[in-house]
Chains A and B, each alone.
Chain A
């Protein structure tokens, strides 16, 4: 049956995509993405494109132009702390609103949750995770660890085979998102061509800019009812600059850890200096010295260290 026939056979006049877009609630999620997630412009653009595609695909399904469920499995690549897990959560929500997954929950796993420790352990373990993820999204973090080329008897291969089978046969029930560093994922796909062909959407997460990280830091603090004072803000900008140059820099995650430590120091400072009552303002202000005490500054610029208490 060609397209023309399909159209003439269907009495439905057509689909109002704009109305569909509004009623599905996708617009809210996309707006939420824009509002709550700093930066990540290319990612947001890809999500918009994907949402548009899925909306059109759904309209086509209603008109009987297509019957197949589109392949929705995705691959998120990017450095640590660039928001892959956060976005997977939003993605699950989005797919749920569009009706491509029934429940819209996210099950986040790594190699340990899928691969067993002895013969016959892997299959039940992988299947259990798959069963829990049914109707939602299965997020496999650092997926390349599933495949160990140096050990041909590694049980990871077994997990991969079960995954591939379910990804192919139960596309209506489950969406799989693989995530990890870009270069290692590339090698993983090269050695497992089955995955590459079953994944339709590859989304690359860029590193955050310094200003974006500062904005993220402020949002994180605001969520916990803390604020920077003016000096602290400039110190934080300096901190981000210095931290980026050091090893194991993990974007937003490094920022979160830095803030946790700053809060610790702030609490200590309040405890040691405060006499009598402490004002709510005092309790929720992070000052420059709380950040400057970090050892990131000690290694980056020793001259600034004098100011620390």
Chain B
């Protein structure tokens, strides 16, 4: 570089083209590529080298573009995924293989994965698994569990079925954009140079605050356009996903209740925001006593977070059947224990981000979300505007897992766009995302279970405190779901379960894959093993002896006449269970060093959809005059595959191939609300809506020609061709009247699962269907160091009907990876683990082979028999690992994560006893 003119133009080669740009001194190359060269395929997940999403090749070597000054790229060859897939043979092949294996789910890490894989294959075109892991170890993925990425890079065989109906393995319909870097996520839609927003947050868990002269500060600060506070909110400064519990302000007023809570936001030019230092903002803080956990929060002198919630108890869930205490008293054996879990961070690789502008007097908000319909409800209340003036246009979602159900950036975007009249954008830093968005509830669970000598359960008493943080979010759902599910998929006649949601000065705990059930599953499945051991009954047989079956009531008194697949899941594990237990026992018998192996199992169940509440989805379709079949698919695809699964179901009902559909995504202006992507409801609920829509469309067409139900339909060239037996009919669509949207045929299907309210004892019909699961984990524990290495999983999941078996496997592997993280390494500690190098999620090196056993016990309510799956997966994972650890070491661990120090201390204690 020219030493006398340090800010000279930088020249380098980007994807085969010479480029010349000017960058700020020390500007991150990722920033330069995205904002000056429109290479939005380079994703930013952490800006610290922790996630690798921004990986690019510099002269063929992968580096994190976020850690490289643009000036260092001068004279070098820079390659990004979008360039590679156009020019590089390895990338072209990987692009196909990633799709064939479902190696991209949400797709936010995929550019980094692809780039790292190309870097490897250029020097080694036949790598082994370890070499793939070493090469890809620097890119984090939160969706896939990595196994399908490994398969894709290794070029393992994949079986596709392009017919694409329900039950067939089909590539994701939205896969090309994910593997080529063209899908637009939250931070990818705003034009460069747009005004930016930075939120001012509390650095204290509980503090009062006062602003100085904000107007003067704004006027004096170059490039600062506006300051937003609670005073700018024309509607209500209050939101919450459950209206009766709405309690969270967009901007705190006078008092901040958790570290990371927003008190104001500044809006300015990119330069002004880049140089904005929070310490310069005119606000003064006064710290107050805070409650860090439910014990402190329930102390007599603890300050109330919300005046109307006495004792800081937000709400209580309760389910009772029979007489638990009497059954426990008469049981031959009992076991009990207190189990605890910590905050778990969702850790999606895409931080919350979005863009908004005012268009024709309406505010349009583009943001990553799991629930555009609920976002619109919230924005209407906050903005005090008629909902017809607000449009939610979701971007691609780089992972959600529950946290993107709640609004985050949306109100700041709307308020800033309305106040400035200009387009605005916002992207949370990784630390902001971790500090301010919801987490999994920490839990403290006391559980006692009894059994008779012959191994029948006799009494179950569960008391759980769930730390719901400063605001309600989905805390009431957790409190209600847990008592319904804490039994696990077992027949328990005498049962009492209580779950309290308790407020603390912590980040709001909300929805995270499983809504509290993974926490209760740890307690229940651990004690089941202890009970089996006490009774000297094989742990698998003990579970099978007590498992729910058709016609047997749940703890809510719900009796399913069909569709209960729990036993089938457990029985599917029996061959692996026998083999792996023998192998582990043999390993341990011969072990001379400090390593011991163990095999554990656990089961789980999960009710699909809202608990005893209305939960409808609507799916609309239209046929254009040219014969194009358009599916308005509003079920947010956050990586799990709704775009593909819903299309497969619709197309099966209509009688076409899913690959022939044109998809229109979620957009509150043009696509009906398919409800939120949560509670493992999209395949079941929106899938049913899609089936109904497809059936209605088919019926309309058949009726138009008055042909039989067996007719086959072909769409295209301005016509629908209908073959009915040996006759062929044709509908000339060009002669038909098209509606305002250009459709000549339109159909809508709406589905709401049949449930009934729970009574005061939690008795009723909470869900129309449950999904069931059982998993086996094999671990190796190094007793001298306390390290736990999972070496294999076998996962049996009853999905009723696997609409797309490849996507089912993807959900299973990804869920296990999250369960493994929760079990072994993840704990969010406010102020201490607010980034992805102190808060650890599993890497590609941590996930062992996973064998998926797809069990199909059809459900009468599910589309083609299908049941939900997403959340079910991680419920058995942590307890299976804990039971495997117990088998290996003899030590029962009562709290997760089982970090090496915790494991070591437990083993040391055993040896001292």
A and B bind: no
Binding site for B on A (CB under 8 A): none
